[in-house]
Amino acid sequence: VARAMNRRFYRLSLGGVRDEAEIRGHRRTYVGSMPGRIIQGIKMAASNNPVFMLDEVDKLGSDVRGDPSSALLEVLDPEQNNSFRDHYLDVPFDLSQVLFLTTANYLDPIPPALKDRMEVLELHGYSEEEKVEIAKRHLIPKQIEENGLPAGQLKFSDSSITTIIADYTREAGLRNLEREIGSICRKVARAITEGQKEPVGMNPELVGSYLGAPKFLAELLERRLRPGIAVGLAWTPHGGDILFVEASLMSGKKGLLLTGQLGDVMKESAQAALTYLRSNAETFGVEADFYEKSDIHIHVPAGAIPKDGPSAGVTILSALTSALTGRALRSKLAMTGEITLRGAVLPVGGIKEKVLAARRAGVNEIFLPERNRKDVEEIEAELVAGLTFSYVEQASDVLNGVLDSAQDEPIPSKPAR
Active-site option among 69, 160, 269, 311 = 311
298 vs 49, 103, 206, 273, 323, CA distance in Å? 57, 39, 41, 11, 10
Pairing of strands 333-335, 365-369: parallel
- How long a stretch of residues is the chain? 417
β-pair partners for 245: 230
Taking each helix axis from N to C terminus, what angle separates 264-279 and 313-325, rounded to the nearest 10 degrees?
Answer: 40
Catalytic residue flag (residue 47): no
The answer to whether 101 and 4 are in contact (CB under 8 A) is no
**Cα first-last separation, the chain:** 55
Residue 300: CB partners within 8 Å, gap ≥ 6? 243, 244, 245, 246, 259, 260, 262, 266, 307, 312
Active-site option among 269, 307, 354, 396 = 354
Catalytic residue flag (residue 354): yes
Catalytic positions are 311, 354
